[in-house]
Amino acid sequence: MSRVAIVGAGLAGLTVARHIGDSAQAVVFEKSRGPGGRMATRRAPPFAFDHGAQFFTANEPAFIAAVRSWQQAGVVKIWQPRFAELDRRTVVAERDWDAEHPHFVGTPGMNEIGRYLSSGLDVRLQTPVESVNPRGSGWQLIAADGADLGVFDWLIVTAPATQAAALLPESFAHHRALSDTQMQGCFALMLGFNQPRQLPWQAALVRNADISWVSVNSSKPDRPAPFTLVAHSTNAYADAQMDEPLESLQQHLCAELRDVTGIDAKHADFCQLHRWRYANIAAQSGSAALIDAERRLAACGDWCIRGRIESAFSSAMTLAEYLRTALQRTRPSSHD
Ligand SMILES: Cc1cc2nc3c(=O)[nH]c(=O)nc-3n(C[C@H](O)[C@H](O)[C@H](O)COP(=O)(O)OP(=O)(O)OC[C@H]3O[C@@H](n4cnc5c(N)ncnc54)[C@H](O)[C@@H]3O)c2cc1C
């Protein structure tokens, strides 16, 4: 049976692994402590924060079906906050998000989806893949600590585009397209309060500020009770300030948050800032997945389509469908 190495246990990597099914032996390598990638949850008891993706929508039939199965498994629920559009402090529009146009979240945290999708798969956590060498007609993976992770017939990289470009050999047929793909950064500010706070909305898009989004994380279904807020910086602010010290960035974003919401971070019982170097990407017009059949290399992820959870799924499904057919056609090679 062919062996397939998948780098990254975010939604794209896990979706590829699940959908190539028994047509190959798939091993997923993930550098973090848990699966889920940017569908992430930071736990700091008694607080918990979805500091990456906030929610998702489902439009394509295949993704709608997948989300339905996640709902049935109890790892996804509909979030129905009061939603506001703000011009700094001023509410310019308001509405309730309802079940007719559902906004989904993982429960009890966004990272639960990754955990659920990992079950039954061979996922090697805390295993950063550092380099890749050609070996026979396959690929040998080397970990950051120098460990030999094995030789595989196919190598699939689902890391954000810049990291994928650094890992894949320059001989990869789509290396240029990959290197040219620019993702945008984001800072996530997390505030936890033992005493509840009052806000007239639970989710807000913000204009004319260095923060673009604020949510009452504790208003999502099945979250711990203490009041928690997540605020995201604009991508433009993050890209301009990416390597500045977190402390000064946190101060500035707390001041922006106070101005927009009236909530002062100095009353918070928990306050932390997370740096996402590769968070989002605008809509792309290229292929839904990058496949080099000759070298048996491929890359996929949200960045092929748009910085959305549904895009990560669609990109991965495009690749998985290709691989299922290719793997059934080809026999595994013999490696040196
Ligand atoms: C702040 C923020 C807010 C967002 N908000 C939303 C939202 O509200 N709605 C929405 O739909 N989407 C949102 N997104 C985007 C959404 O999170 C992504 O589209 C989606 O999670 C991408 O999944 P992926 O599998 O393509 O990539 P990722 O989730 O990034 O997975 C890639 C994985 O590869 C791993 N990895 C990287 N390099 C290596 C290596 N060398 N070795 C081993 N492992 C490696 C990483 O650790 C990661 O787990 C947001 C993202 C961020 C950061």
The 3-state secondary structure of 116-155, one letter per residue:
HHHCCCEEECCCCEEEEEEECCEEEEEECCCCEEEEECEE
Asked whether residue 189 falls in the same domain as residue 260, the answer is: yes
**Per-residue confidence (pLDDT) for residue 333, from 0 to 100:** 55
Domain end call among 280, 302, 318: 280
Distance 9 CA to ligand 1 centre (A): 9
- At 99 the pLDDT is 86
Last residue of one domain, picked from the residues 263, 280, 297:
280
Same domain for 297 and 323? yes
At which of 242, 259, 280 does a domain end? Answer: 280
The CB of 37 under 6 Å from ligand 1? The reply is: yes
Q: What is the pLDDT along the chain (336 residues), one digit of tens a residue?
A: 899 999 999 999 999 999 998 899 999 999 999 999 999 999 999 999 999 999 999 999 999 999 999 999 999 999 999 999 999 999 999 999 988 899 999 999 999 999 999 999 999 999 999 999 999 989 999 999 999 999 999 999 999 999 999 999 999 999 999 999 999 999 999 999 999 998 999 999 999 999 999 999 999 999 988 999 999 999 999 999 999 999 999 999 999 999 999 999 999 999 999 999 999 999 999 999 999 999 999 999 999 999 999 999 999 999 999 999 999 877 555 554
Residue 265 located in a structural domain = yes
Residue 336 has a pLDDT of 46
Residue numbers of the domain that contains 17 = 3-40+113-180+283-329
* Cα(50) to centroid(ligand 1), Å: 13
Tell whether ligand 1 has an atom less than 6 A from the beta carbon of residue 52: yes
What is residue 334's predicted lDDT score, i.e. its pLDDT? 52
In a domain, 155, yes or no: yes
Domain co-membership, 171 together with 305:
yes
Domain match, 239 and 212 both: yes
Pocket test of ligand 1: the residue of 38, 57, 317 to mutate, having most ligand atoms within 8 Å of its CB, is 38
Residue 46 lies in a domain: no
Q: Residue 139 is part of a domain; what is its CATH number?
A: 3.50.50.60
Task: Check whether residue 102 and residue 120 sit in a common domain.
Answer: no
Give the distance (Å) from ligand 1 centre to CA of residue 45: 24
- pLDDT at 100 (0 to 100): 87
Task: Answer whether 158's CB lies under 8 Å from 301's CB.
Answer: yes
Domain-embedded: residue 47: no
In a domain, 48, yes or no: no
Q: Are residues 223 and 262 in the same domain?
A: yes
**Same domain for 231 and 214:** yes
Decide if 335 is inside a domain: no
Residues 259 and 228 in one domain: yes
Tell me: do 188 and 255 sit in the same domain: yes
**CATH number for the domain harbouring residue 63:** 3.90.660.10
- The reported pLDDT for the residue numbered 335 is 54
- Whether 129 is in the pocket of ligand 1, judged by its Cβ within 6 Å, is yes
The count of structural domains within the chain is 2
Instruction: Determine, yes or no, domain membership for 50.
Output: no
For residues 166 and 155, membership in a common domain is answered with yes
Say if residue 71 is in the same domain as residue 99: yes
Atom of ligand 1 nearest to the CA of 14: 25
Cβ of 184 less than 6 Å from ligand 1: no
Query: What's the gap in Å between 55 CA and the centre of ligand 1?
Result: 13
Residue 155 near ligand 1, beta carbon < 6 Å: no
DSSP string, 275-313: EEEEEE-----S-SSEEETTTTEEE-SGGGT-SSHHHHH
- Residue 207 shares a structural domain with residue 255: yes
- Ligand 1 mean position, distance from CA 276 (Å): 9
Does the residue 336 lie in any domain?
A: no
